[in-house]
Amino acid sequence: MQKKRVVFNYPSHLVDQPVISKLVKDYDLTVNILRARITPKEEGRLVLEMEGKRSALEAGLNYMKEIGVEVQPLAQDVKWYEDRCTHCTACISVCHPQALDVNRKTMEVSFNRDKCIACELCIPVCPYQAMEILF
Amino acid sequence: MAKTIEEINEKIRRGKAVVLTAEEIIDYAAEKGVKKTAQEVDVVTTGTFGPMCSSGAYFNVGHSKPRIKLGGGRTYLNDVPVYTGLAAVDFFLGATAMPEDDPRNKIYPGKFSYGGAHIIEELVSGKDVRLTATAYGTDCYPRKSLETYISLKDMNEAVLFNMRNAYQNYNVAVNLSDRMIYTYMGVIQPKLGNANYCNAGQLSPLLNDPYYKTIGIGTRIFLGGGVGYVVGSGTQHNPDVKRTEKGVPKMTSGTLAVKGDLKMMSSKWLKGTSYTGYGVTLTVGIGVPIPILNEEILQYTMIRDEEIWAQVIDYSDAYPQFIPGSLGEVNYKQLKSGRITVQGKEVPTSGLSSYLKAGEIARILKEWIEVGKFFLTQPVELLPSVDSGIVFKPLKERPIKKHH
C-alpha cells in the first residue's frame, strides 16, 4: 500500500462530475479530502490524500489526467522560507501533523512537506511570514 | 583568585582568553569544579534573539538644498511616520510604527505585515527607502516638502536605540477563554490549547548575571550583528521581585536599554516581525559577555533551564484586566520539552524567542573575543539591583477637571 498527497486542479466543465467516487469504486483507493474549493462554472481545487496499491494509485492518477484534471504533489504549493525562519518555534504547537517539527536538543525547526496537510494554521502564527501556502 | 576586567582584556589581546558560552559552561564547571573553572575561564557569553517592541532607531539624514526643517512637520519612511519633535533633520523611527492607512485590526484579526521594524531591517540590508516630508517653512529652513530615496550609507548617523530590551525572564501566556486570542505573546488557542513563552532561559543575558554584578552602563555587547553598548537599565526595570535561592527572578524583572551603530549591523540579527492581531515589532539579537571575575560570578553563569522558573498567566482576562495572579510556575526545561501541565491539563508549548539563534549569538561573541576583536568594558555604573528601592508603578489615573 502507498500513500500520496496531491492537489487536483479541475477545469470548470468537470466540477459537476462525480470524479472522486470513480477513484474509490473503480480504482479501489481510500480517499481523504483535506481541503476543497470548488465553485460552479469556475475552476476547482482539491487537496487530498489517496491510499491504495501502487499500481492502482498510478492508474487512478492517469485517469484524472486523461479527463483533464491537472495533478501536482501537495508539496509544490507549500513553501517554508528557511531564510525568514528564526526557529522561534511559534508554529510548533499548532502543527498537529508535525510537518513543522523541532529537534528538542538543538531547538532547530524543520519542515517535512510530506506531512503537511495545508491546513494553514501556521500562517497567522508565524511572525516572520516564513510559511506560504498557495491554495 | 579574583580577576579584573583589565587582566581579562590583556589575555584577549594575547589571544589567550578562555571563553565558553552560557550553555557550555554548565557541564564544564560541573565536571571541573567551581574553583578550578573560575581560575581557568575568563568570559562566559550569553545570547538572546526575540521580539522587543521598545526598539527603534534615530537618524540624521543630512541637510537638503535649500534647507528643510523636518522638526514640527510630518515625515515618513516608506509611508511609516517617524517622530520629528527634534532638530531640523534628526528623527526617530519606532519599531511598532505603521503606515497611517494600514487597516490595523479593522479587518479582523489584522496582519500588521509592515512597519517601522521592517524598515529598520530593509535599511540594514542596504535597501533604499522613500523619505517623504512636509514642513511649515521658515526664513532659515524655507523648503516645505521633500521626496527622495535614501539609504543607510547616505545618512550621517543611524543609531539603533532600544529603551527596553533583553527582559530578564518573562510570562508564559495561556488562554482560559473559549475564543482564540491575538496577543503580543502570539496567537493563543482557547481553553488552554497552547502556552507561549519568550526567553532564551539558560542562555539569556540577565539570567546569567541575576543581580547585575557585572552588567551596567557602558557594557560592550553584541547588538544586531554589530557592536553596541548598554546605556543603562531599560524601562520597566524591576529588580525587586520574587527570586529563587540562586537569585534568579521567577517573573519579569530586569531590562536593558541599549544602543549601537546601525550601519555596522546585519539584517540577519534585526528582523521585522508581525504579530497577527497585535502589531509590528523588531526581533533583536543581543549577546552580553560576562567576565568571570570570581567564583560567585561563575556560579551565576552555571544556571540551568530547570532552575529558571516562569509564571503562567491567563492572557484572556488576568493580563488585559491587570489582575494579579499566576496559574502556576513552570521551568524552562519543561517549556522546551514541548509540554507543560496547567490546571491538571497537558498543554503544548511554543517559543517566541529563538533558542537556536541565541546559541549562535553566544558562539559568535565567543569567537570575536577569542580572535581578539572584542574587548570587555568596566561599567561606569552597575544596573540598579534588588536594594535600589525601585518600585514598578501602575498608572494612577486622576480625573481631569472640566473648566467651563
Note whether A63 and A103 are same-domain residues.
Answer: no
Number of domains in chain A: 2
User: CA–CA separation, B305 vs B340, rounded Å?
Assistant: 14
Integer Cα distance of B309 and A104 in angstroms: 19
User: Is residue A72 located within the same domain as residue A97?
Assistant: no
Output the pLDDT for position A34. 87
Q: How many whole angstroms separate alpha carbon B118 and alpha carbon B232?
A: 26
Q: How far is Cα B266 from Cα B200, in angstroms, rounded to an integer?
A: 21
Predicted TM-score (pTM) of the model is 0.93
Cβ within 8 Å, pair B273-A128: yes
ipTM exceeding the 0.85 mark: yes
The pLDDT of residue A12: 84
Q: Which of B354, B357, B360, B363 to mutate to test the interface with A (most CBs of A within 10 A)?
A: B354
Instruction: List the grid coordinates of B185.
Output: 505573546
pLDDT for res B114: 98
Q: Which of B1, B107, B140, B391 is catalytic?
A: B140
CB contact under 8 A, A86 and B354: yes
Instruction: Report the gap between the CA of A28 and the closest CA in chain B (Å).
Output: 38
| pLDDT score recorded for residue B63 | 98
Instruction: Give the model's pLDDT for residue A40.
Output: 67
Q: Do A97 and A116 meet the contact criterion of CB atoms below 8 Å apart?
A: yes
Q: From the CA of B351, how many Å to the nearest CA of chain A?
A: 5
Task: Pick the closest to residue B121 from B235, B231, B225 (CA basis).
Answer: B225
**What's the pLDDT score for residue A74?**
82
Nearest to A90 among B337, B338, B351 (CB): B351
Chain B residues touching residue A128 (CB < 8 angstroms) = 271, 273-274, 283
pLDDT tens, residue by residue, B30-61 = 999 999 999 999 999 999 999 999 999 999 99
Q: Do B189 and A94 touch (CB under 8 A)?
A: yes
Residue A66 and residue A18 share a domain: yes
Contact A87 B354 (CB under 8 A): yes
Q: Are A8 and A71 found together in one domain?
A: yes
Instruction: Give the number of other Cβ atoms within 10 Å of residue A55's Cβ.
Output: 10
User: In chain B, where are the structural domains located?
Assistant: 56-160
Chain B residues within an 8 Å CB radius of A102: 338
Report the b/e string of A88-120 with b at 16+ CB within 10 A. bbbbbbbbeeebbbbeeeebbbebebeebbbbe
Do B187 and A124 count as a contact with CB atoms less than 8 A apart?
yes
What pLDDT is recorded for position A114?
84
Site from A81, A91, A93 to mutate, B interface, most B CB atoms within 10 angstroms: A93
Same domain, A67 and A97: no
Kindly give the confidence (pLDDT) of every residue in chain A, 135 residues in length, as a single tens digit, with 9 standing for 90 and above: 888 888 888 888 887 788 899 999 999 999 999 888 877 667 888 889 999 999 999 999 999 999 999 998 887 778 999 999 999 999 999 999 999 999 999 999 999 988 888 888 999 999 999 999 876
Cell (9 digits) for B61: 539624514
Out of A88, A91, A106, closest to residue B353 by CB:
A88
* Contact (CB<8Å) A90/B196: yes
Cell numbers for B70, please give them: 523636518
Helices then strands, each counted (H, E), chain B? 7, 26
Minimal C-alpha gap between B382 and chain A (Å): 31
Which amino acid belongs to residue A12? S
Whether residue A63 is found in the same domain as residue A108: no
pLDDT at A3: 87
Same domain membership, residue A68 and residue A18:
yes
Task: Answer yes or no: do A26 and A49 share one domain.
Answer: yes
Q: Residue B283: how many CA atoms within 13 Å on its side-chain side? A: 29
Active site residue B53: no
The CATH number of the domain holding residue A6 is 3.30.70.260
- pLDDT for B398 equals 97
Query: Do A81 and A67 lie in a common domain?
Result: no
8 Å CB contact of B350 and A92? yes
Buried b (16+ CB within 10 A) or exposed e, B46-59: bbbbbbbbbbbbbb
Question: End of a domain among A58, A76, A94?
Answer: A76
B290-335 residue pLDDT tens = 999 999 999 999 999 999 999 999 999 999 999 999 999 999 999 9
Answer whether B138's CB lies under 8 Å from B66's CB. Answer: no
Same domain, A53 and A82: no
Please give the residue range of the domain that contains residue A111: 77-133
Q: What is the CATH number of the domain that holds A86?
A: 3.30.70.20
The verdict on A10 and A70 lying in the same domain is yes
Measure CB to CB from residue B271 to each of A92, A106, A128 and give the nearest one. Answer: A128
Distance from CA of A33 to the nearest CA of B (A): 25
For the packed helices A19-27 and A54-66, what is the interaxial angle rounded to 10 degrees? 150
Could you read off the pLDDT tens digit of each residue along chain B, which spans 404 residues? Answer: 689 999 999 999 999 999 999 999 999 999 999 999 999 999 999 999 999 999 999 999 999 999 999 999 999 999 999 999 999 999 999 999 999 999 999 999 999 999 999 999 999 999 999 999 999 999 999 999 999 999 999 999 999 999 999 999 999 999 999 999 999 999 999 999 999 999 999 999 999 999 999 999 999 999 999 999 999 999 999 999 999 999 999 999 999 999 999 999 999 999 999 999 999 999 999 999 999 999 999 999 999 999 999 999 999 999 999 999 999 999 999 999 999 999 999 999 999 999 999 999 999 999 999 999 999 999 999 999 999 999 999 999 999 998 86
Residue B160 cell numbers, joined: 539603533
Q: Which of A56, A76, A96 is the last residue of a domain?
A: A76
All residues at 6 or more sequence positions from B129 whose CB lies less than 8 Å from its CB, including other chains: B77, B78, B119, B122, B123, B149, B150, B151
Q: For residue B2, how many other CB atoms are within 10 A of its CB?
A: 12
What is the count of residue pairs from A and B with beta carbons less than 8 Å apart? 80
